[in-house]
Amino acid sequence: MNNAELAHQLTECLELNNPPIALRFVQEIPRDIPPFDGTVTAGCAFWRQAEQGTFYTSALAHINCPIGVHTMGLPMLDGNRSGGVRVGMSNREESLIN
């Protein structure tokens, strides 16, 4: 089963209003994936943005949301959350998820 089929099955079985998304933690900025353009007041806003397409963010983009930083396990440096790179992606980008 590919990711699009899995997303369809999850959407139907769980009666979701929106398709599921995926994310991936990486050490380097991904090639051929655009950065998120803008700022958000809370990290969970990235989940909604990932419904629309693929992008990456740095951990620093999540600094406004201490709960999200904690639950995502992002590292803390000098009292500020930073480090690592996150990727938000839609279920349409199967080659990037696997």
List, run by run, the mean pLDDT of 10-residue segments along the chain (98 residues): 86 91 84 87 83 84 76 63 48 48
- 7 assigned to some structural domain: no
- 39 assigned to some structural domain: yes
Structural domain containing residue 56: 21-97
At 77 the pLDDT is 52
- 9 assigned to some structural domain: no
- 5 assigned to some structural domain: no
At 9 the pLDDT is 93
At 31 the pLDDT is 87
The answer to pTM > 0.75 is no
At 81 the pLDDT is 40
CA distances from 63 to 6, 22, 96 (A): 32, 21, 25
* CA separation for the pair 20, 13 (Å, rounded): 12
Task: Report how many domains make up the chain.
Answer: 1
